[in-house]
């Protein structure tokens, strides 16, 4: 857990280190979190998941190929040996997505600031009005790790052969189709056999991650079988993967998530409760 997360106090001790880069991965959408701390960590650099994406794919903020990711990240001044501290202004939301992107691209020196910018402020950290965009081009090189991501075809195969468990981070009402999807034109429900663990249950006091193994057990997850995480558009699924990583379990994120599955006429959908 200490390798995946970093406390505000420890992060403050690294502010100004030549090999440490702070990345602001703040992102939201209509209906998503809106209230958060103002400003940014001094010297931090912005990372926009709507910019660092596969532009050929119509789905939202899909993971780009290694070459495209390398180009974007080098432009941020990030090097192959950079130690990354990723945060967002809400506590813990989109920072997990940025963490996962770097993990999927083979950069293991990557940590999430536990509690995000609000925890930084609460610990007495200084705040800047703007990000640092003056850095020189870095020498980062992505090394894609296919085990960190899965596509629709892979998910369909896992459903057929039972090779992996699917864990959905959306709220229960969306999972069970009691409310319509917020994105127009999408069917409601969940993937066959999927389990449900709303990501909000993993967020504790002060927006800090609370990766309790009992929560995963209560969702019906077998600790000995592989896990695929999913959500609405591949953002909060990464919070589940972050928590699993803290517990020593690597998972694969279904990048297209419900944005892809729910918008297709040929994917099988279930409603109601998850299987017990």
State how far the alpha carbon of 125 is from the alpha carbons of 8, 41, 250, 275, in Å. 8, 8, 32, 45
Q: How far apart are CA 112 and CA 99, in angstroms?
A: 7
| 36 plus 120 within the same structural domain | yes
Any idea which residue has 């960590």 for tokens?
41
| 101 plus 207 within the same structural domain | no
| 81 plus 112 within the same structural domain | yes
Q: Which of 87, 111, 144 is the last residue of a domain?
A: 144
| 240 plus 199 within the same structural domain | yes
| 197 plus 253 within the same structural domain | yes
Q: Which of 144, 159, 182 is the last residue of a domain?
A: 144
Q: Which of 112, 144, 176 is the last residue of a domain?
A: 144
- Inside any domain, residue 73: yes
Domain total of the chain:
2
DSSP code for 45: E
Cite the DSSP H helix spans in 90-249: 95-104, 116-122, 152-161, 172-175, 213-218, 237-246
- Inside any domain, residue 94: yes
| 111 plus 12 within the same structural domain | yes
Q: Which residue has the higher pLDDT, 183 or 118?
A: 118
Task: Give the pLDDT band (50/70/90) at residue 62.
Answer: very high
| 73 plus 159 within the same structural domain | no
Q: How far apart are CA 275 and CA 230, in angstroms?
A: 17
* DSSP H or E run through 83: strand 83-87
Q: Which pLDDT score is estimated for 125? A: 97
CATH value at residue 77: 3.40.250.10
Task: Give the pLDDT band (50/70/90) at residue 275.
Answer: low
Q: Among residues 246, 254, 271, 252, which one has the least CA distance to residue 3? A: 246
Q: Residue 151 pLDDT > 80, yes or no?
A: yes
User: What pTM was estimated for this model as a whole?
Assistant: 0.96
Question: Structural domain of residue 126, as residue ranges?
Answer: 5-144
| 134 plus 172 within the same structural domain | no
| 95 plus 50 within the same structural domain | yes
Q: 142 CB contacts (<8 Å, ≥6 apart)?
A: 66, 67, 69, 70, 73, 105, 106, 107
Q: Which pLDDT score is estimated for 124? A: 97
Average pLDDT, the chain: 95
Residue 231 is among the residues annotated as catalytic for this protein: yes
Task: Give the pLDDT band (50/70/90) at residue 276.
Answer: low
**Mean pLDDT of all residues in 34-56:** 96
Active-site option among 40, 231, 238, 246: 231
Q: Residue 2 pLDDT > 60, yes or no?
A: no
């Amino acid at each position: 857990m200490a390798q995946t997360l970093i406390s505000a106090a420890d992060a403050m001790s690294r502010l100004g280190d030549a090999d440490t880069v702070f990345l602001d991965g703040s992102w939201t959408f209509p209906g998503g979190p809106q209230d958060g701390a103002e400003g940014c960590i001094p010297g931090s650099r912005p990372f926009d998941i709507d910019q660092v994406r596969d532009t050929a794919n119509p789905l939202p903020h899909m993971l780009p190929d290694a070459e495209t990711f390398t180009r974007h990240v080098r432009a941020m001044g990030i090097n192959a040996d950079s130690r990354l501290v990723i945060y967002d202004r809400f506590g813990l939301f989109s920072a997990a997505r940025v963490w996962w992107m770097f993990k999927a691209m083979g950069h293991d020196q990557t940590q999430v600031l536990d509690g995000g910018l609000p925890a930084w402020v609460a610990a007495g950290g200084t705040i800047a009005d703007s990000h640092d965009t003056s850095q020189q081009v870095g020498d980062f090189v992505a090394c894609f790790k296919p085990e960190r991501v899965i596509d629709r075809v892979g998910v369909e195969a896992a459903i057929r052969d039972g090779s992996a468990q699917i864990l959905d981070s959306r709220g229960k009402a969306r999972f069970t189709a009691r409310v319509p999807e917020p994105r127009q034109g999408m069917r409601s429900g969940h993937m066959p056999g999927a389990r449900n663990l709303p990501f909000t249950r993993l967020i504790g006091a002060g927006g800090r991650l609370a990766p309790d193994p009992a929560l995963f057990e209560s969702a019906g997850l077998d600790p000995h079988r592989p896990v695929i995480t999913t959500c609405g558009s591949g953002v909060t699924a990464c919070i589940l993967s972050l928590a699993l990583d803290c517990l020593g379990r690597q998972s694969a994120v279904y990048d297209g998530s419900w944005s892809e599955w729910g918008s297709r006429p040929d994917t099988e959908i279930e409603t109601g409760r998850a299987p017990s």
